[in-house]
Amino acid sequence: MKLRSRFFFSSSALMALALLGLLLGIFSVLMLTSTQNQQMTRNLRTIEATVGMRQELGIQVVMMLRKRLDRVELKASDQRFRKWLLRASEGDLDDADRQALADVERTYARFDTFADKRDDVRRNTFDDNNFVVNLQALRDSLNALQQRCVTAIEHTQENSRQRAWIVSSLLGMMGVALLLIGF
């Protein structure tokens, strides 16, 4: 085989290997960012919804502390809370997320019974330990849901970091192979 043919085959092999490495890198990065983006979007949407629910819960508690309860505004706040709850349940959820949202909905239903009471009975509910327990249970379920999302975000970041190291290692090995073939 002539020198020119050897040079042609070796440069062709180098080009093919370089192109393969480039395509592998591009494909891996696209898959990595797509998966990470979907999971981050879902978890951040849930965190945003729990912050909205917590805000509406605070508004409702403040309304219940007032001398006269504005039932129209309380109903509007209840509807906003339920919209936030619906928003959190939209999207691609696993069973644990659905269970956590069901827990929030269940504890909110127990809390909501206190707002429906007459004004004189409602004012006395703040002395009632049952009200405080239900309020704390609702706050705890919102905290648990937020913590699940934060943990999922951390897990997603760790998986992305591991995948990035794998892609970097593969691309590094491709580079070493290119150098060896080139020499």
For residue range 2-33, list pLDDT tens digits in order: 777 777 777 777 777 777 777 877 787 778 78
In this prediction, residues 95-108 reach a mean pLDDT of: 87
Q: Which two tokens stand for residue 144?
A: 């648990």
Q: Does residue 101 register a pLDDT over 70?
A: yes
CB-facing half-sphere around the CA of 17: CA atoms within 13 A: 19
pLDDT at 122: 58
What is this structure's pTM?
A: 0.71
- Percentages helix, strand, coil for the chain (3-state, rounded to 5) are 90, 0, 10
Residue 182's pLDDT band (cuts 50, 70, 90) = low
Statement: residue 127 has pLDDT above 80: no
125 or 141: whose pLDDT is higher?
141
- Of 111, 56, 63, the residue nearest 85 (C-alpha): 56
Instruction: Quick: pLDDT tens for 54-64.
Output: 999 888 888 87
3-state secondary structure of 117: coil
